[in-house]
Chain A
Amino acid sequence: MRWPWRTGNTGDAIARVIAVSLGLSVLVLAGLLIYELIDKSWQSISEFGLGFITGTTWDPVAREFGAAPAIYGTLVSSLIALVLAVPVSLGAAIFLSEIAPPWLRNPFSFLVEMLAALPSVVLGLWGIYVLIPWVRDFVEKSTLGHLSFIPLFSGPPFGLGMLAAGLILSIMVLPIITAISRDVMLAVPTSQREAMLALGATKWEVISGAVLPYCRSGLVGAVILGLGRALGETMAVTMVIGRGYNITASLFRPASTAASTVASEFNEASYGLYISALVELALILLVITLFVNIFARLLVWRIARSPGVIRE
């Protein structure tokens, strides 16, 4: 509501100053964040320049830091997560929005959202003691292991590694993609569904012909928001990905992401350049997630969602 700016009342004047500064605090925070990260990574930036992004060696002893494997790991693990999560999420969202009877919709949606509330470290704990053994025994040793002539499935069957990381990330992005997709689908006007139905369409034809095309940009936004979440995820990934620092096609090898590298090594970093390199890694991660999130927001911007529903 637009009130008149000046009311001639000192209480109002003070209140306005307070409100404005609290509102601007958001912008100040964003600015400070970027400034601080650039400042603390400057040493590494000036030392390595663009070579930091392309370098493949991470050797604190030799004072050589290259981020390429970490960035590669971040992107690949997130990609795997999306490949696994998007079909399931979309299917679940379609079920919740179009198929489930109303009495089933709320409890199911609630359960999916509860999955989002699981702390990352607990998921990581489950990952270490349940997921990794399963990946090792069921996937790497038996099924996919037989396909080890394909580079994708070669490598030692330890369980931990890129595949496990991708799996656990898919579990983490599933709720957010499902919830946003479901909201987006529910917002499709009934008249569109009725128009398709009146032509003699089956329920699936209504969904694929009228509902999904109508909200496709929102769906893409949901997936990209999920991607943003996957890129920044730290604890669960760190706990199951191992500590391999390499660029390889193998899904079974231990790997690293930007977040996992920072999380594992920051408290061990003993000298300035090391710390600075890690901060630069964090900065790169920030830039990537910012791009992805801004792009997604521009797509999902207008879709109404209730506040605080989903953990992002």
Chain B
Amino acid sequence: MSISTYQRRRTTNSLMLSLCAVSAFLAVGVLVLILGFVLAEGISSLNIDLFTKMPVPEGEPGGGVANSIVGSLITIGLAAVIGIPIGIGAGIFLSEYAGHRLGDVIRFTADVLTGVPSIVIGIFVYGLVVLRMGNFSALAAGIALAIIMLPIMARSSEEMLRLVPHSQREAALALGISRWRTILSVVIPVAQRGLVTGALLAVARAAGETAPLLFTALGNRFLSLSVTGGPIDALPLRIYRYATGPYSEQQQQAWAASFVLVLTVFVISLTARLLLRRR
């Protein structure tokens, strides 16, 4: 090997490794850039009114997004109540009961379902629930979000339950404990931290979704506490509405609301990851 070949190899090496480093910093840099903007714009418009007041007619100053926050809490709460138990149940099925073929089919279907565009889920629930009920509602929104959460919950719960060593199940069986009781009192408690993590991540995902809410919750300028009675607002919907509107007061509020939303999603995700790591 000649000196020049060797030099060429060394140069290529340095060049390519540097390019990779640049890419990594670029990827992180983009995040920092976006977060920075949301932070900067959002914090400057942040005030207590945001959390306590209702929206005012667009174009006028003042007001807040209290109804959106309440609406988000209601819809996500509904989604969690519906989606988490069914998701964990499906996970239990996959981990404890399913035969090889059926398990593989369900697992594959769940994985593919996670890739369905959320707007399609929104249309689905519109046809399934909204049309039948005759009106938009928090329930429809909750169902839509639950459908988004379900496959994620099922797969993550399954994997967490699988991590529980077989010896624990066998010990319970040897003591004469019935299978369902084993699952409830032995397997689930051992896996509980992982299950909670999975639930938190699914909730964080649902909290940021907008498209499915467009045709199920619709949005509402006023406060609504009703589950089935009519349209309800949500934070992502309000951000969308204000961001695409022409009024600068509302645009500022969109930034502030975004800040709140991003902060919430990040805090939930971070909590989930910290829980996972401390095992």
A touching B, CB within 8 angstroms: yes
Within A271-298, the residues touching B (CB, 8 Å) are 278-279, 282, 285-286, 289-290, 292-294, 297
Let me know if B9 is at the binding interface, CB within 8 A.
yes
Instruction: Judge whether B13 and A203 touch: CB under 8 Å.
Output: yes
Which size bracket describes the interface of B in this complex? 35 or more
Assembly CA distance A92 to B21 (angstroms)? 7
Let me know if B178 is at the binding interface, CB within 8 A.
yes
Let me know if B266 is at the binding interface, CB within 8 A.
yes
**Which of B20, B157, B201 lies in contact with A99, CB distance below 8 A?**
B20
Instruction: Judge whether A29 and B13 touch: CB under 8 Å.
Output: no
**Which of B41, B94, B128, B243 lies in contact with A36, CB distance below 8 A?**
B128
Instruction: Judge whether A120 and B208 touch: CB under 8 Å.
Output: yes
Contact A307-B113, Cβ < 8 Å, known A1-B169, A91-B20: no
**Which of B10, B127, B243 lies in contact with A239, CB distance below 8 A?**
B243
Contacts of B240 in A (CB 8 A): 121, 124, 235, 239
For residue B181, which residue of chain A has the nearest CB? A11
Contact A108-B179, Cβ < 8 Å, known A117-B266, A126-B38, A129-B251: no
**Which has the most chain B C-beta neighbours within 10 Å: A23, A100, A130, A203?**
A23
Assembly CA distance A129 to B28 (angstroms)? 20
| Interface 1/0 per residue, B250-279 and A, CB below 8 Å | 010011001001100110010011001000
| Interface 1/0 per residue, B24-63 and A, CB below 8 Å | 1011101110110110010000000000000000000000
Contacts of B183 in A (CB 8 A): 15
**Which of A40, A89, A259 lies in contact with B119, CB distance below 8 A?**
A259
A204 to chain B, nearest CB (A): 4
**Which of B38, B117, B194, B269 lies in contact with A122, CB distance below 8 A?**
B38
Contacts of A203 in B (CB 8 A): 13, 17
| Interface 1/0 per residue, A223-261 and B, CB below 8 Å | 001001101111100010000000000000000000100
Assembly CA distance A91 to B113 (angstroms)? 29
Contacts of B179 in A (CB 8 A): 3, 7, 9, 12, 15
Kindly specify which of A62-70, A135-143, A262-270 makes contact with the partner chain.
A262-270
Contact A23-B34, Cβ < 8 Å, known A120-B208, A263-B211, A308-B198: no
| Interface 1/0 per residue, A87-103 and B, CB below 8 Å | 11111101110011000
